[in-house]
Structures are given as structure tokens and as C-alpha cells.
Amino acid sequence: MKDDFVFGIHAVAALLTRSPERIAALQVLEGRADQRMQQVLADAERNGISVERVSRAELDKLEVRHQGVVAQLTHQVEYQEADIETIVRRSANPLLLILDGVTDPHNLGACLRSADAAGVDAVIAPRDRATGLTPVVRKVASGAAEAIPFIQVTNLARTLKTLQEMGVWIVGAAGEADTLIYEQDLSGPIALAMGAEGSGLRRLTREYCDFLVKLPMAGSVSSLNVSVATGICLFEVVRQRRAKVAP
């Protein structure tokens, strides 16, 4: 196995619930029979997924925190740059997440999980100098990596321009912005752009943003972890959209 597996009890359980067709087979630690594992086994049986009982030594070869269960995946759905236009057109009010060079797989996994929870239509990231869908990303995402389109593009600036031509506003998060995110109208078609760990948005990405916003920081730290900031910003979009349609 290379990157074609998901590990960890929560990630595998979520995958069984959301996309069982993505699982070719399960490897389960022999002797583990607690309630959570019993549920995983029951879900696998209901979906006709084969289960192999293996030793801890066999699972440990993966050098990951497998928690006694590993799902071997079928082929991964590959989204192409051209799919972005289709995704935008079929949404009544598109919400996209742009991750400009996130390299930490734990951060990407957490961002995908928040994006899925907030109803994001797709997550877009550059192909170079950024992490892709690794097993660690999938585990942290707890099934979101299989549920939400993740599109890696060769030219992020060109993609942003295409989105703008389709009527999507690009809103970038930057600590030096003058506008608080709570003051910005986020109820329309939005692509929220979040920068990399430490360096933030790249210069060219900033130039393509229609608006720059920031979170209020009252403490001594200057910035938040990108996955935490992403969750806060996405759910501000959700809050505004719900407030707009409320009677």
C-alpha cells in the first residue's frame, strides 16, 4: 500500500458511513472486539466488504497510528481543474475554499473536515509546494477527504481569475487587512482564500483577492493555526447565509 488506505477507527467508521463503495477491504487487529470495532465490522458486513484479521506486527508495518483498523481503498476519485467550472455552475450559491500552500497534512485534514461540515462545494489548492491527500490527511479528515472534491491546480492565480469571471468573489484572510470578517458581506458566491502556515497568502494570491479580511485578535498571539482560522471563517459565511434567508 502507498497512499491508497485510510487508518484509524473514526476515519474508517466515517468512510463506511459516507462512502462504503470506496473501500475494497478492511484489515482489523485480531482480538480487538470492543463496541466501536463491532460497529465497524457490522457496517462492513452490511456493505459486503471483506475483513481480514491480522496481527499487530502486520499493521505496525504501516508506521501509522492505525488504532487496529485499516481500510484499503479502491481507486481515488480524481478531480480535474475543469471540474471547478462544473461545480460552480451547479451550485445556487457557491462556497469554495482556497488553501494557498498548506503543507501540514494535519492542517489540511482539519480544513477538509471543517469544509465538509460548512457545506463547501470544493477545496482548491496548488499542486506544487502543498500537501495532497495522504493517509494522514484522510485520517484527520475523518471521511471528509472522500466526501468533498479536492482539486489541485497547476496555476492558482489563473484559477482565481476564472472564478472571478464566473461571478465568484475572492475573499482572502490576512492579518494586516483593515476589515474584520464580521463586517464583510459573505452571503453571495464566495471563494475563501486561506494562506499557508506562517507565511500566509502569497503576493499574487493577495492581488487577485477582491477583499481582504481578518479575525479580531485580542490576545498576545499574532495569528491562529490555519485550520482553526479556516473553521472560524467558514462558519461566519454559514452564519451570514442563514441570517439572510431567515424570516
Last residue in a domain, options 50, 73, 96:
73
- Count the neighbouring beta carbons within 10 Å of the beta carbon of residue 183: 9
Task: Tell me which of 37, 54, 73 is where a domain ends.
Answer: 73
136 domain-assigned: yes
- Assess whether 136 and 196 both reside in one domain: yes
What's the residue count for the chain? 247
Considering the domain architecture, whether residues 151 and 221 belong to the same structural domain is answered as yes
Shared domain for 164 and 139, answered yes or no, is: yes
Of residues 173 and 6, the one with the higher pLDDT is 173
Question: Do both 116 and 237 map to the same domain?
Answer: yes
Number of domains within the chain: 2
Kindly state whether residues 88 and 68 are assigned to the same domain.
no
- pTM for the model: 0.79
Instruction: Examine the pLDDT at 247 and tell me if it is beyond 70.
Output: no
Q: So what's the pLDDT on residue 67?
A: 83
61 in the same domain as 147? no
pLDDT at 1: 43
Residue-wise pLDDT tens digits, 19-37:
788 788 888 888 787 888 8
For residues 94 and 177, membership in a common domain is answered with yes
State mean pLDDT over 116-133.
92
* Same structural domain, 162 and 215: yes
The confidence score (pLDDT) of residue 181 equals 96
Q: What is the CATH number of the domain that holds 220?
A: 3.40.1280.10
Q: Domain check: are 127 and 200 in the same one?
A: yes
DSSP string, 57-107: HHHHTT-S--TTEEEEE-PPP---TTHHHHHHHT-SS-EEEEEES---HHH
Average pLDDT score over residue span 126-140: 87
Does 10 map to a domain? yes
**Domain match, 48 and 121 both:** no
Asked whether the beta carbons of 37 and 13 are under 8 A apart, the reply is no
pLDDT at 155 over 50: yes
Instruction: Find the CATH number of the domain harbouring 16.
Output: 3.30.1330.30
78 within a domain of the structure (yes/no): no
Weakest mean pLDDT among 33-47, 80-94, 228-242 = 33-47
Q: Do 100 and 193 form a contact (C-beta atoms < 8 A)?
A: yes
Nearest Cα to Cα of residue 223 among 212, 233, 215: 215
The mean pLDDT value for 153-178 works out to 95
- Give tens-digit pLDDT for 66-88: 788 888 887 666 778 889 999 99
Range of the domain at 54: 5-73
